[in-house]
Structure 1
Amino acid sequence: MKSNSIPGKKKVELGSDRSDQEIGNRIDLIRSGKLSKRLLVELMSERHPVYEERPNFQSTRIKGYAMASFFDVGLPDSALKFVLDELQNGKSAYMVAAAARGLRGAKRPGSQYVNFLLQGMENIRYHDDSMSLEVFKPDWPLEHPTTAKREIFLTFQWLQGYAKGALPELVSFLKDSYDFDPGTKEEIQKTIHIIETDNRKHNLSCCEIESEEENGFSGIWKKLRNIKSIGKLEVENQEGICQPLDAFTNQNPTVVAFFYTRCMNANKCTLTINKLGWLQQDLIRYGLQEKVNLLAFTYDPGYDTAGKMHVFGENRGVIFGPNVHMLRTKPEDFSLVSDFFNLGVNHVNSTVNQHRLELFLLDQKGNVKTSYTRLQWEVEKVSGDIKSLLERSSRFGWLSSSISFFQQVCFPVLLAFFPKCPVCWAVYMSAFGVSGLQSVPYSPWLIPWIVLAIAVNLVILYRKANVRNGLTPFWLSLAGGLLVIVPGYMFSYRFGSMLGIALLLMGALFNSLPYRQWSKWTDFFSSALKELKIASHTKTKIWFKKPLAQK
């Protein structure tokens, strides 16, 4: 059961144990302003507990009614993609109508919504229906009926002059005597009139809404959960071959898509696998087919056998090979994959009842670099991102080799010449451990221990400063540790990692020098700083302050 704490409002709990009518009543409270609309945004997620083991028709009504409610309470930016996703990919008249109405709650109209509305019209053009979005469970006959087409035309009217790009399509609808009845044509004529009579100057440059999500700072958790962390998970491919997931990812960039063969929405799973085949052809065209893995996981491993996956992929243009596979886990293991990718999917019994479009691009190390979720992804865009990833890898390949050589060969040699005091060993192990962590398989669990080792080392350096060589080794080691962990490990910034290791080594070296030699160095640097006027005499004395035990 999920708990939703809303500032200034009473605590609300929604979970799979609630009846659909209870949930509808909660949504009505949100519409009336008695509960926060943040709850509506949470209900947009396919992973919300309310959809667990709930029949598809109930899930559709709950989500659609919540989506239509954005018209009443306002559509926040965080919910915009959910609405556009339904317009672009939805096949349910109820959901498309709800999305069109919810879009009218946006902060401002814009020309970027036109194509989504036209796609929504195309999706339900031949199977529209009469419905009510005013109440959760209406009584028949409906008091205020609407249709998906009518909601779309009302949204075009809301856009006014921003919808001028839709005029050719709207005019063509008037000529269609089969798909649009006389009452609907009156609404179309009204829509055209509102758009044409809006003489204001509008910026009609279409601000494209992308489906990819770059992993900036929020990508840290994904980095810590490198796909190698589930690399031992046994999966079966379309040929019935069972191997650990590691065997299918190896050291290449990897594209991971999701689908299931029983999906009834051609705009989702079928189109996803079609596009995966087109992406494969694009990679072949550029001679990159052997440098990239293409993997497609089924959401429905209990039903999708190896044979079904093989036929499904082959019929949609996928050419299977050494690095192109469709995969299924054991049904009980699918949650491991779902949790790793944070998939937007939910099930009732063994059937999928909610899912979104999902494609992920992983780099050679298994880190998620880009996520393409909810909105349709373009083959050309993904192909370009793959090429950029390969180019960056090639450009810095020499640096990776140098770092690897330093870690594996030079570092142990340097250790042999350094003094072997306990404090120094702590520094050496910290630097070596963190710098080599990414090359150790299934290593994320080691991170807390290595961070602890660095922390212990810093505490020792600080506490021993008065009897060793002052605080300079401590500050160097602190800066080095932060550089190695944050830019070096979390963001794969190799220069940051190397600079951090260098500072850690300098801290170790300075701490282990005999006091007489350390004193000569500090005196030399103090004189140099004075001559260059970089620091005042007072600051120089503080920075290179001799430890009390040596005075």
Structure 2
Amino acid sequence: MQIDLLRAAPERRDELVALLDEQAALYQGLGTRDAERLRGYVLASFETVGLPREALPFVLEELETGLDPYPVAAAAKALRGAREVPDAAIRALAKALRRITSNNDYVRYDTFALGGASASGTTALDELVRTAGALASRSATLAEAFESANADRDRLPQGPGALDPSRPAEAGPASCGCCGAPEGRLASPVDSEAVAGLLLEDQAGRTFAFDAFFPGRPSVLAFFYTRCMNPEKCSLTITKLARLQRLIREAGLEDCVNVAALTYDPAYDGPDRLRAYGAERGMRFDARNKLLRTLGPFEPVRALFNLKVGFGPATVNRHRVEALILDERGRSQRYFAGTQWLETDISQIVISMAGQSAGTRRA
């Protein structure tokens, strides 16, 4: 197996990083469960080959939003391969520990097979707690970050590796220094003309071309699908868009900014489903605020913005949390990915952009 060969060659760790991409060929056509297990097996490899800086965003995302115990525990193992662990990873590990405490399962990473969980070996919670113990003396913020998890101490595994802020740190293998995942970084230039005529349909059944909606004002564009089973991803994304709408209204710029989300699953997410999904999460719909689907394949949008989404036999099998800020010409300017973006951060950017655009028009 290719992954096993790479595990035995730390100098090839960059090839393992490439296998974390949601669009990697090894995930194509797999169902969500199998794709998650395969990804987890890749993540666990970084405990022994060392965790490079480029892999850290994937580890943080899994710890912050993952539900399946197998890849979440694998992300915890990966942290043990880091030379330096940022505070963001400590906070994400704390969240994962609280989440997996009530969703534990057996895991093993010495060999791989698709299918259900192993009935032997360690548990996901054991792996998370072992990592917590290994990192305890590496960060002054650990005790505070784990305060709520310590309240459930009697539910956690005891003995070697158990959560203990006084436990000495274990040395991990040498690797590149790690830092936090980039947030709101400048987006790569794209040719927006490639989708200018792409037909879209909104939650009310109205159809229009991509360039009939997005150009003319700054826009926030997020991505989701209604069949997503992870409340930390798509459901939270739409909830945050609703909060963003309120911030923009409070600034008096509701007519100057587009707020929209586009489904990965256009064949399933018709107008009625889009409208209900958004309304349940607080979105208000009007000419500037919409949930959308493509009329036709989603692929041109995925390719244009290089979206990190993979597809199985029926629907999405894995996707990253992603949001874009587009300028008034419909070109991507800022890109938020991996961990959950903050609506306050995005509102400050688009409110500034909208103010500048309004000033330019008045001039």
Are 2:352 and 1:379 aligned?
A: no
CA displacement at 1:135 relative to structure 2:
1.5
Q: Which residue of 61, 67, 82 maps to 2:43?
A: 67
Are 2:351 and 1:351 aligned?
A: no
Which residue of structure 2 aligns with residue 388 of structure 1? 352
In the TM superposition, 1:70-469 aligns within 5 A as: 70-137=46-113, 142=120, 145-168=121-144, 170=146, 173=149, 175-176=151-152, 180=155, 184-186=157-159, 191-194=164-167, 209-215=181-187, 219-220=188-189, 222=190, 225-226=191-192, 228-330=193-295, 332-394=296-358
Which residue of structure 2 aligns with residue 446 of structure 1? none
The alpha-carbon distance between structure 1 residues 277 and 156, as it changes in their structure 2 partners (threshold 3 A), is same
Moved over 6 A (4+): none
Point out where structure 2 has 5 or more consecutive residues left out of the alignment: 171-178
In the TM superposition, 1:7-46 aligns within 5 A as: 25-33=1-9, 36-46=12-22
Counterpart of 2:262 in 1: which secondary structure? strand
Counterpart of 1:383 in 2: which secondary structure? helix
CA contact (8 A) 1:129 1:148 kept: yes
Taking the aligned partners of 1:285 and 1:306, their CA distance within structure 2 comes to 28
Taking the aligned partners of 2:317 and 2:258, their CA distance within structure 1 comes to 29
The alpha-carbon distance between structure 1 residues 250 and 209, as it changes in their structure 2 partners (threshold 3 A), is closer
Q: Which residue of 12, 26, 29 maps to 1:50?
A: 26
Counterpart of 1:333 in 2: which secondary structure? coil
In the TM superposition, 1:483-522 aligns within 5 A as: none
Counterpart of 1:192 in 2: which secondary structure? coil
The alpha-carbon distance between structure 1 residues 240 and 105, as it changes in their structure 2 partners (threshold 3 A), is same
Counterpart of 1:251 in 2: which secondary structure? coil
Counterpart of 1:287 in 2: which secondary structure? coil
Greater mean alpha carbon deviation, residues 246-255 or residues 305-314 = 246-255
The alpha-carbon distance between structure 1 residues 384 and 134, as it changes in their structure 2 partners (threshold 3 A), is same
Counterpart of 2:158 in 1: which secondary structure? helix
In the TM superposition, 1:469-488 aligns within 5 A as: none
The alpha-carbon distance between structure 1 residues 29 and 231, as it changes in their structure 2 partners (threshold 3 A), is same
The alpha-carbon distance between structure 1 residues 170 and 287, as it changes in their structure 2 partners (threshold 3 A), is closer
Counterpart of 2:325 in 1: which secondary structure? strand
CA contact (8 A) 2:97 2:149 kept: no
Counterpart of 1:47 in 2: which secondary structure? coil
TM-score normalised according to structure 2 size: 0.90
CA contact (8 A) 1:29 1:35 kept: no
Counterpart of 1:361 in 2: which secondary structure? strand
Greater mean alpha carbon deviation, residues 369-378 or residues 169-178 = 169-178
The alpha-carbon distance between structure 1 residues 274 and 40, as it changes in their structure 2 partners (threshold 3 A), is same
Amino acid at match of 2:236: L
CA contact (8 A) 1:100 1:152 kept: yes
CA contact (8 A) 2:97 2:129 kept: no
Amino acid at match of 1:290: D
CA displacement at 1:175 relative to structure 2:
4.6
The alpha-carbon distance between structure 1 residues 349 and 112, as it changes in their structure 2 partners (threshold 3 A), is closer
Taking the aligned partners of 1:187 and 1:397, their CA distance within structure 2 comes to 66
CA contact (8 A) 2:220 2:258 kept: yes
CA displacement at 1:333 relative to structure 2:
2.3
CA displacement at 1:377 relative to structure 2:
0.2
Point out where structure 1 has 5 or more consecutive residues left out of the alignment: 1-24, 199-206, 402-551
CA contact (8 A) 2:251 2:351 kept: no
CA displacement at 1:191 relative to structure 2:
2.5
Which residue of structure 1 aligns with residue 174 of structure 2? none
Greater mean alpha carbon deviation, residues 341-350 or residues 186-195 = 186-195
CA-to-aligned-CA distance 1:482-529 (integer Å, 9 cap, x gap): xxxxxxxxxxxxxxxxxxxxxxxxxxxxxxxxxxxxxxxxxxxxxxxx
TM-score normalised according to structure 1 size: 0.60
Taking the aligned partners of 1:358 and 1:190, their CA distance within structure 2 comes to 33
The answer to which structure, 1 or 2, has the higher relative contact order (CA under 8 A, 6+ apart) is: 2
CA-to-aligned-CA distance 1:325-357 (integer Å, 9 cap, x gap): 111113x42111111111111112331111110
The alpha-carbon distance between structure 1 residues 112 and 57, as it changes in their structure 2 partners (threshold 3 A), is closer
Taking the aligned partners of 1:61 and 1:365, their CA distance within structure 2 comes to 41
RMSD: 2.5
Amino acid at match of 2:324: F
